[in-house]
Amino acid sequence: MTKRKSIIITVALLIAAFALSAVAFGNSLNCCKAQKSSGQERAQAARAVEQDGAQTATVEVTDKGFEPSSLKLKAGAPAKVTFVRKTDETCAKEVVIKEYNINRKLPLNEPVTVEFTPRKGEFTFACGMDMIKGKLIVE
């Protein structure tokens, strides 16, 4: 009798633990999904500013994703794009621009400047998991 009871309790605990971990896992997936959808709402692209012979721009990582989520650059001119992560509530703790072999960690509130000379076209910058994204529009 007591043996059966303890088995029932064990099974109940296992189910509870499984349910809890499913909730936690779901939440961590939601972070990226939520940021992705809100990122797509901002259609307006920011334009880089000419400064000391380079085109410069700053992109912040907030709980909404990359802001601005798209950036216009001129082809063939050196670019300095500074990323600043402003929140811990994000999985974008690094920035990756595949086409330019850029992969940099983004420490909280520490500006990280990446330098490259953009070619004509559209390029994606993204978090390490390629879930939170922004766009470089090079003309």
User: DSSP letters along 59-121, please?
Assistant: EEEETTEEESSEEEE-TTS-EEEEEEE--SS-S--EEEEGGGTEEEE--BT--EEEEE-PPSE
Q: Is 129 in the site for Cu ion (CB under 5 A)?
A: yes
Provide the minimum distance between the beta carbon of 36 and Cu ion in the complex, in angstroms, as a whole number: 9
Question: Which of 24-32, 48-56, 105-113, 116-124 is the region at the interface with Cu ion (rule: CB under 5 A)?
Answer: 24-32
Q: Is 19 in the site for Cu ion (CB under 5 A)?
A: no
Per CB under 5 A, the list member of 54, 131, 135, 137 interacting with Cu ion is 131
C-alpha to C-alpha distance for 81 and 102, rounded to whole angstroms: 11
Contact 54, 79 (CB under 8 A): yes
Pattern of binders to Cu ion over 70-89, x per CB under 5 A?
A: --------------------
Residues that bind Cu ion (CB under 5 A): 32, 91, 127, 129, 131-132
